[in-house]
Structure 1
């Protein structure tokens, strides 16, 4: 018997996706085979973990490659929890074909024969979500960065538009026995794995442990994207992706509205089909999100990263430091479907934990709206004197509360 009442036909907000499709890119194997040693690059900083973060990280890496002094970001995606485990256990990066970037292009390099030590582990989730033993200390710090939403996705040919937390619980917890049509065939219910931050966050949301999900496994965000997009049975297909990866493939995939436990309606991350404003994430209506986490080793005396290169990368990614000339970090974040803390009005301090009202020290709510295509309805300004009493601060060209 099929389960009724899993979806509510109440008004929902639409996803900002349709006009931003992108072709899938596949790295050339020959490029990896001809790669130089990563250690020969100027000031290499070795980053691993989340595969969902790669598009955003790549754009920063291109700018840093031309900075003074230059920094060569070297990246190997292996999933958030796999990367976190390697970092805590002291396992180096190994193998050929690690990603790096010049000002325009993704290149490839090879790890040292004995491995290259990890400078930064990037995770979509708290390290303790991966393993309770992975706690920060006086020598390891977790620097939180922009907010990343996670989504349920289906092929564009699917007629499905929404999913509730209860429905997702049965789909991923019971697979072909879920009774939730049309997702009743585990060949087309795509999951990542327990080492994936995407799956860990979604697991916390729907309350099915990541290690107990049912469905066909995929190796990475790119693999998930391809598996869902090119499924042979669009109607019975479902998967999970970071919002940034989903938006890149809007010509192939669509994001489902998500109705969390105790919500009356489903919401998309965005407010309108022509926007990518993440408005429903920023005000707390869309439930599945969390900050990116940048883990690195720090001085026991100062708490500063031991690696100067890692410090620069983290400071830029977290907004702790003014970005290099020519890099509009807030605009870059908007383009890659992550949200800086300054554009948020809610926050949480644990995985899928309760929401609390939040006002950043220097708000960028209006500027983020403007660069995300949201059409900021705020007063433009050149200085504080241009702003009214209810929004007295001129931040990033717009009047803000503070």
Structure 2
């Protein structure tokens, strides 16, 4: 709550402030005290970080800190409020206080004088966590699609945990047993109390900025709901969501479920489980490699055996067992067919030869030489400057025409002495 601006004291013309007319310290202190006094009584929520109750005094001094920011407020109250509280008040307790702010002009400090302190119960804390869970879920910070996969074998693992805690020992020992070469960048912070959130957020930002860190583990052992409150803080959840490096949340035991488990990329049930998820088991990986090698060798041997059987089956086939047998059988067929073809060709040639002889004999019988041999002659008219012409008519050979008479054994040259045409009287 703040006082309205209209209620703030305004300097009048008589009290105007300038380099020539400065206000004295007492005036400033008085004005600030008047301003703060206008705020009235208020309710404030925070976490107690310091309690100082001196015996025999009538005032107890406390420091109230904001769990989500590096801010605190001095508080004074009656020691009876602390002694008579229904729930023991200790450093780290979440409380709601009712009181009035006071400005001490002598020291220039502000203090909250409270008259009522109410511890925040578990039920109310859980209800607030559930409201924050719904808000972050509505913004998509729990979306599985935003989860980044963990590297198979990170070069460097960042670890945020309490100093000399069981969680730190579990993570380092288990990871070292599984993969001796693993390297850790450890950041020890408070893991409960009012300063835990700010320290964890700072360590997270430092490791996320380190280029060698490939995965960050946030580890803490089990505890009460109040002890685990820093890991359900909105500031830490948003810092985890903004990280570019995968984050593994290993807070508490299996039943514990702070909000950072939902925002982180991987939730581990325990710090030991986180170590198992971050680095592989060297023995298991070697056994797996040996198994893969054995399976690969067996598969190769089976493949070779299968292919050998296939080759044996192919070689056992007649065509491959005696490949020349088919050629030899075909060679016999070719020889038989060649002989049959030669016989047919000879028979055809013989038949054609006989036919040729018959035709030659007939041609010889019908030829001019045979006719001449029977006593006939061929008479040709001899014309100067040209080849002899066969005399076909007596009209073509007037008396005195030189003729060539061809007989069986040669030819004679004669001259026409006269002519005797068929049908005329001599």
Shorter-chain TM-score bucket reads under 0.3
Give the TM-score of the pair, scaled to structure 1. 0.25
The structure in which a higher percent of residues are helix is 2
Query: Which of the pair has more CA radius of gyration?
Result: 2
Give the TM-score of the pair, scaled to structure 2. 0.24
| Higher RCO (C-alpha under 8 Å, 6+ residues apart) | 1
